[in-house]
Structure 1
Amino acid sequence: MIKNYLLLLFLFTSILTSQAQQFNSNNISISRSDLETNVYEKDSTANALVLYEYGKSYVNNQSFKLTHEFKQKLKILNRKGFDQATILVYLYNSKNKKEKISNINATTHNLIDGRITRTKLKESEIYTEKYNENYTLVKFTLPNIQEGSVITYSYRVTLPFVYKYKSWEFQGDIPKLYSEYNTSIPGNYNYNIKLVGKNQLFKNEAEVKKSCLEVGLGGSADCTESIYVMKDIPAFIEEDYMTTRDNYLSRIEYELKVFQGFDGVIDNITKTWETTDKEIKANNSIGKQLNKNIKKEALLSQSTLNEKDALKKAELIYKNIQENYTWNGNYQIFKDVSVKDLIDKKSGSVSEINILLHNLLNASGIAVKPILLSTRNNGLPTTIYPVISDFNYLVVQATIDNKTYLLDATNKYLHFGQLPFKCLNQYGRLLDFKNGSEWIDINSSVVSNTRYKVDLVLDKDENINGKVDFTTAGYHALPEKESYFSNASQHENYLTENNENITISDYAAETQEINSLDFKEHFNINYTTEKIGDFLYVNPFLFTFFEENPFKLQERSYPIDFGYKSGFMYYYKIHIDDAFEIIETPKSINLNLPDNAGKLLCTTSVKNNEIVVFFKLSFNKEIYVKEYYPYMKELMNHVVNLQKNTTIVLKRK
């Protein structure tokens, strides 16, 4: 009986709770519950919440311009969500055409003493400013914002760029209960429609409306009218080890494929790769520059010209470009590219530097091909059909003795065959003007490592001194090399400043080649132990790899993208003076990620008054799908805990 009563009480309480926390996500109208409810149970960390969002895009029957209508209802849950009451609308401009906004309406709704109050946005509170050459910013902040406020706002945008249909973002920085997008596309516009992101559509419906667009003289077009809906959309929260959010944010994008005029003329906007290859080949900034005849004798030393070994010759040419030409920070690859200007000015864009590298290697008898790619912060290029605007970078593939090397000469610290980290974005388009272009994988063949070897002695006076060997390799070595070779004394000072409790002396860098694959340093250290009562506490992790766990989300909806395989190793040996006895040593740990995709190992051994702590962390994949996230998060918790809380306990005899 008591059990039944408790069950009924639980069910009744659950019903009351669900009713009390039920927002109206069916439309933009305000319910009392919208104002009374101040918690979103599915995400307790949320500071604001979109209750309802609606968009509609269509071609206006009079102006024949694309019209986009937008409205949203948003709940402010706490003070940290106040910034969501500032609305920014970016309007695109070209030389002759510009987007225009109208019909801005915005209201703040509050519950004051049990009564719903409304405060409207004044027209004088709407500001317009030039954002940059391509965009105008329209900005307004809803008035009278309080904890618990609900804001509603709407506007209309007229877009003269029908070729670029209005995209729609279902997902944003805060969670959404309901997001709906309605489109009406005339039949003479044929778009590639791309749904991006992992969240599923709740509704995806389409129907044809006859003669929705009339142009006079009997001309008309049918329209495809579509409805797309998503519900309960989690906030997209950025975290370490990811590429641009645009790769994962749930949204719909449009790319015009074919336009058919009312006169019957067909314009194929989206090309095939076969057609695109021909256009690139004929392009003044790419194809024609790649075919420029280079007088290698005027640019290369005699020793380089006389080198018989193909790999050594390629490395010498690569190094020559690195040392003599400076990247000006310009990424453009399809406009204003001139190898001649680069040679004259000794400074140029990514394309100019790497096309010169391509041409010199080609003139020296080395098989080369250019690769178009998109950098990590630029997003993944579309693979279904050519979208040239997706690419923002050009590198070179060289084939020597049946082995391929991916080359970029814009950075003097890069090793031969090593691309900048920003280029490690999964795949690129290898251009071959004879046999046709193709997609190829872009990855690093070398595991990047960080290794410490610490060899110490604890003397009878409780002082610890010894030697540290520090080696970084691959991408881990790049910041170390850049720091040291740009300012060696500052690099040493930085090392000292970041280890305040340790005296560092006799620093030396063993590596002298600026573009070496690894970088080796060594120095001596001296410090005193921590003593509490009769016990001495020695922390073996004098140098740490991770100060905190980079993975903090409850759930991650996108991959962990390191960009390359990596490893971390720490070898610590300390000889204990006979004046002390060993009371406690660190416990060993051995953890593996599923499918042996990664490993954490930490062991301790004691022999003849010597304690050895060995730590090894390895990531055997460049990219981990989201299903690995809970395992990776747990693994990194152990890593951080080991570095912070591992202790050797000693006592004087």
Structure 2
Amino acid sequence: MNRIPLIQFSFIFFGCSLMAFSQEGEWGVYSEEELSLETVPFEPEAKVVSLYEAGRTGLIWNEETYQIMGMYTESHYRYKVLDDNVGGFGTIVIPYYHAGDWNIERILELEAQVSFLENGARKTYPLKKEDIKQIDFGDGYGEYRIIFPKVFKGSILEYRYIKADRMYYTLKGWVFQGEYPKLRSKFTFEVPDFLQYQLIVPPGRVKASMSHSAKKDRFSWDLKDLRSFPLEPYISSPMDYLERIEGFLAVDATRSPATLYSTWQRLGDQIMELKEFGSYKKSVSYKNLGLKEDLFLAESKEAIAKRIYRYISENFTLEPSLFAYPSKSLSELLRSKKGNHLDIHLLLIAALRSYEIHAEPVLVNELHPLKRSFLIPSPNIDQFSSSLVKMKVDNKITYLDATDSTLPFGLLPLRKLVEKGFLLSEASSELIELTYDFDSKTELEISLELDSIGNLAFRERLKLTDLKVLALRDALAVNRDDEAPGDLDPYNVSFEDHFKDGRFIVSSYHLPIKEMDESVILLDPFTFSSFAVNPFLEQSRVYPLEFGFPIRETMNFVVELPEGYTLDEYPESISLRSDSGDMAFVFDVRFEKETLKIATDIQIQVKESISRGRYGEIRNFFQIVSEKLSEPVVVIRETAR
């Protein structure tokens, strides 16, 4: 890729400016309706409302040479606070990806102000440099953080900026829905007539509001009275359901052929014809990897593949990349031991090839809350952000991801559990269905014992397998600063990490039992369960449910009371199955020889999304589950201590 001079890229907008852009929603000028608004008619419970927002995207190009240098988007947002209690609202985050010296994205002309009421008079405070923080997260990622002061009832928060983007093959477009209701949301896309973009327009009011010029070089959308997007549990990619517009470049008349990717096979051929890709077509032996002896020999091809996979995943470091292309040649990768996802996976394929193990690369789009999960059926390389390796041994297909040294052989991260991928093959490059079979379980064994001062305590042993380990790891990464209540802290904690070789982890620990009464103790051993509280509390649901992967959760509680304690009450058994048979719950209670045993088993065998038409059934199912898991075992302490 030829680098565009930074000054040229940043400031050539050929007449566009925020001043001209903001004429309709004039900066800092508020209508009587905006000033007097106290509630949103179509969403009266809202505490914040978007009064107005508008975006305009266009191409940065040289009118003499027709050279495309990038894309820009001008954005203007205006919110009003309708309640004094609005939580964390008032800090606005604008992310960007600069990729170091590449300057892929830049934020320009950022300004913000707040209009607020003070002693009955409206005042305006333009935000200063110290109110806008720029944060660099490393690996090319950063964000601007606007910290608005004076955020209370009646305040109007306004900000605008330009994002310049060197990536113009994909139109990132506009999201009309958001966390808060919107009175009006507008978007305009302007494109020179020698380029054609394939627009992805959802049915409904987004499509109905679309208009375009006679030359189809200007497209506009104008939507009003948009309800906020409901934050419902078990949605992996909200972008699948948001009202939005996006697209990708399909025709460039300055090139030959003008159509960029006519078929999936042609797209695959273009990738495989790259010089860097071609360097990986020869086999890579252990000597090429710098080893003095063959460490990969084993009794079977699968065992060989496991050793090669482990060596490459542990000795080659992933570098961030926006592209679904190899970033360097085989020799460069072997020398630096660093590369993007496709570099590392092409190396893995070349190493497997030297042992006559068949493998091919598969491009995928990673799951992300801010990206859609499904693929566009038209050939478009920019919708892929990562890759996998499809390996076939003894007619068994296994998908591999060698970019994470902590992943065991054959297990994929949650963000890559997508339904389809783009297979790169000289025989037939095409979209393929991706199928997985992971043993993802939670197993919890619970018993009772007396602690060092004679109080009852839970002794627990927790085992997590496959995707449940990854789900826990992802959750801890997001909530690393969260702390458990001090009186419920586990103690005598031990941990066994068998994840890399056995695909499971085990932790043993003790938990104190909170005694509410001197003589009566309520035991609630199943609070660890993901469904001890019903996650589906709303009476209705707007969008389908997505569990992500099949779930199996078993818990066993054995009650053998020490002297001085007697069992007073305990729950009854129950067995439950969903109408469709894809979910089951068993709560088995047995009391034999002064020992109480409670065994629970929750199974959710759902791989695809569940339609909202089943929401009532799902809600009732988990209501029964949560109520049963919350029923206490009542113990009486007979003697005073």
**TM-score, normalised on structure 1?**
0.72
Q: How does 1:482-493 map to 2 (within 5 A)?
A: none
Q: How does 1:275-294 map to 2 (within 5 A)?
A: 275-285=266-276, 287-294=277-284
Cα displacement (A) at 1:445:
0.5
C-alpha distance in 1 between matches for 2:194 and 2:170: 14
Q: How does 1:292-371 map to 2 (within 5 A)?
A: 292-296=282-286, 307-323=298-314, 325-331=315-321, 334-346=325-337, 348-371=339-362
C-alpha distance in 2 between matches for 1:293 and 1:51: 60
Output the amino acid matched with 2:600. Answer: F
1:647 aligned residue (610, 633, 637)? 633
Q: Secondary structure at the match of 2:258?
A: strand
Worse overlay, 165-174 or 634-643 = 634-643
Output the amino acid matched with 2:247. Answer: Y
Partner of 2:526: 541
- CA offsets, 1:593-628, max 9 Å, x none? 552333333232222322111222222223434615
C-alpha distance in 2 between matches for 1:508 and 1:122: 53
- CA offsets, 1:452-505, max 9 Å, x none? 12345789x98658965432211224588999xxxxxxxxxxx99999577648
C-alpha distance in 2 between matches for 1:472 and 1:49: 43
Output the amino acid matched with 2:464. Answer: T
Q: Is 2:601 the counterpart of 1:616? A: yes
C-alpha distance in 2 between matches for 1:501 and 1:97: 46
2:82 aligned residue (74, 77, 80)? 77
Q: Secondary structure at the match of 1:582?
A: strand
Q: Is 2:559 the counterpart of 1:574? A: yes
Cα displacement (A) at 1:429:
1.2
Partner of 2:504: 518
Return closer, same or farther for 1:617/1:40 CA change in 2, 3 Å cut-off: farther
Q: Is 2:415 the counterpart of 1:409? A: no
Q: Is 2:25 the counterpart of 1:40? A: no
Identity of aligned residues (%): 20
Worse overlay, 558-567 or 606-615 = 558-567
Return closer, same or farther for 1:592/1:108 CA change in 2, 3 Å cut-off: farther
C-alpha distance in 1 between matches for 2:587 and 2:345: 44
Q: How does 1:186-585 map to 2 (within 5 A)?
A: 187-195=193-201, 200-201=205-206, 203-206=208-211, 208-209=213-214, 222-223=215-216, 226-236=219-229, 241-260=234-253, 267-285=258-276, 287-296=277-286, 307-323=298-314, 325-331=315-321, 334-346=325-337, 348-377=339-368, 379-380=372-373, 382-433=375-426, 435-456=427-448, 468-477=460-469, 504=492, 509=496, 514-520=500-506, 530=515, 532=517, 534-541=519-526, 543-545=528-530, 558-576=543-561, 581-585=566-570
CA contact (8 A) 1:463 1:529 kept: no
Return closer, same or farther for 1:178/1:651 CA change in 2, 3 Å cut-off: same
Return closer, same or farther for 1:430/1:120 CA change in 2, 3 Å cut-off: same
C-alpha distance in 2 between matches for 1:521 and 1:361: 36
**For the aligned residues, what is the CA RMSD?**
5.2
Output the amino acid matched with 2:50. Answer: V
Return closer, same or farther for 1:629/1:327 CA change in 2, 3 Å cut-off: farther
C-alpha distance in 2 between matches for 1:320 and 1:72: 50
Q: Is 2:212 the counterpart of 1:179? A: no
Worse overlay, 559-568 or 104-113 = 104-113
Return closer, same or farther for 1:454/1:303 CA change in 2, 3 Å cut-off: farther
C-alpha distance in 2 between matches for 1:41 and 1:603: 51
Cα displacement (A) at 1:564:
2.0
CA contact (8 A) 1:170 1:251 kept: yes
Cα displacement (A) at 1:362:
1.2
C-alpha distance in 1 between matches for 2:564 and 2:502: 45
Worse overlay, 441-450 or 496-505 = 496-505
C-alpha distance in 1 between matches for 2:143 and 2:281: 43
Cα displacement (A) at 1:406:
0.6
Return closer, same or farther for 1:315/1:256 CA change in 2, 3 Å cut-off: closer
CA contact (8 A) 1:126 1:138 kept: no
C-alpha distance in 1 between matches for 2:618 and 2:156: 38
Q: Secondary structure at the match of 2:415?
A: helix
- CA offsets, 1:198-236, max 9 Å, x none? 874373354653xxxxxxxxxxxx346554343432323
Cα displacement (A) at 1:571:
0.8
Q: Secondary structure at the match of 1:395?
A: strand
C-alpha distance in 2 between matches for 1:89 and 1:307: 51
C-alpha distance in 2 between matches for 1:55 and 1:571: 56
CA contact (8 A) 1:444 1:564 kept: no
Return closer, same or farther for 1:136/1:162 CA change in 2, 3 Å cut-off: same
C-alpha distance in 1 between matches for 2:472 and 2:142: 41
Return closer, same or farther for 1:329/1:141 CA change in 2, 3 Å cut-off: closer
CA contact (8 A) 2:170 2:382 kept: no
C-alpha distance in 1 between matches for 2:85 and 2:79: 14
Q: How does 1:44-193 map to 2 (within 5 A)?
A: 46-55=46-55, 74-80=79-85, 108=115, 119=123, 146-150=152-156, 167-183=173-189, 187-193=193-199
Worse overlay, 185-194 or 397-406 = 185-194
* Structure 2: tracts of 5 or more residues without a match: 1-23, 476-482
C-alpha distance in 2 between matches for 1:496 and 1:33: 47
C-alpha distance in 2 between matches for 1:123 and 1:606: 68
Q: Secondary structure at the match of 1:618?
A: strand
CA contact (8 A) 2:185 2:223 kept: yes
Q: Secondary structure at the match of 2:177?
A: coil
Cα displacement (A) at 1:569:
0.8
C-alpha distance in 1 between matches for 2:608 and 2:395: 27
Cα displacement (A) at 1:424:
1.4
CA contact (8 A) 1:540 1:648 kept: no
Return closer, same or farther for 1:641/1:157 CA change in 2, 3 Å cut-off: same
Cα displacement (A) at 1:570:
0.5
C-alpha distance in 2 between matches for 1:468 and 1:155: 54
Output the amino acid matched with 1:174. Answer: Y
Cα displacement (A) at 1:515:
2.1
The count of aligned residue pairs is 593
Output the amino acid matched with 1:259. Answer: D
- CA offsets, 1:351-377, max 9 Å, x none? 343322211211111111111112223
C-alpha distance in 2 between matches for 1:135 and 1:330: 10
C-alpha distance in 2 between matches for 1:161 and 1:353: 24
Return closer, same or farther for 1:70/1:118 CA change in 2, 3 Å cut-off: farther
Output the amino acid matched with 1:471. Answer: K
Return closer, same or farther for 1:293/1:97 CA change in 2, 3 Å cut-off: closer
Output the amino acid matched with 1:76. Answer: V
C-alpha distance in 1 between matches for 2:599 and 2:397: 36
* Structure 1: tracts of 5 or more residues without a match: 1-25, 210-221, 484-494
Larger radius of gyration: 1
Output the amino acid matched with 1:189. Answer: L
C-alpha distance in 1 between matches for 2:601 and 2:362: 36
